[in-house]
Amino acid sequence: MRLLGPINSGIGAGGNNAATNNYTTTFQVVGRVAGIYVRYNHTCPAGTDVTVSTVGTSPAIPTQTLLSLVNANTDGLFLPRVLADDIVGAELSDLTSAEPIAISDFVKVLIAQANNGDSVDVWLLLE
């Protein structure tokens, strides 16, 4: 396991409850995302949205959303998972546990509906 971060969204601008910004890593992140910790900075309102995703620029696979928090402002550790697929691409919904998300791409952290001066820090726990 290794910890990557913090990745800061950038300082929100655009008015209270409407401020937005985003930051994309300058390096490719490779591994399986075992966890994502989000810390809200400044005075993020309860309506703040945070999206952590891959960029999907060729030759990488298309964009994947790793975490989407809507109307939130509480720091926390999140353990996003996906269901595995069988050899014909069908989700194995009978499994009792889902798998960490595998990535090999640049990672983007987006903040929206925040206040001016707000930002978030994100740490990725990678396998």
Which tokens hold the place of 47? 């309506």
Which tokens hold the place of 104? 């090999």
Q: For 35-92, what is each residue's pLDDT tens digit?
A: 999 999 999 999 999 999 999 988 889 999 999 999 999 999 999 998 888 888 888 8
Would you state the pLDDT for residue 84? 81
93 confidence band (pLDDT: 50, 70, 90)? confident
**Full-prediction pTM beyond 0.85?**
yes
Which tokens hold the place of 85? 């697929």
**Mean of all residue pLDDT scores within the chain:** 94
3-state secondary structure the chain: CEEEEEEECCCCECCCCCEEEEEECCCCEEEEEEEEEEEEECCCCCCCEEEEEECCCCCCCCCCEEEEECCCCCCEEECCCECCECCCCCECCCCCCCECEEEEECEEEEEEEECCCCEEEEEEEEC
Task: Please give the average per-residue pLDDT across 4-18, as a whole number.
Answer: 97
95 confidence band (pLDDT: 50, 70, 90)? low
Residue 96 pLDDT greater than 70, yes or no = no
Would you state the pLDDT for residue 21? 98
Q: What is the CATH number of domain 2-79+99-126?
A: 2.60.120.230
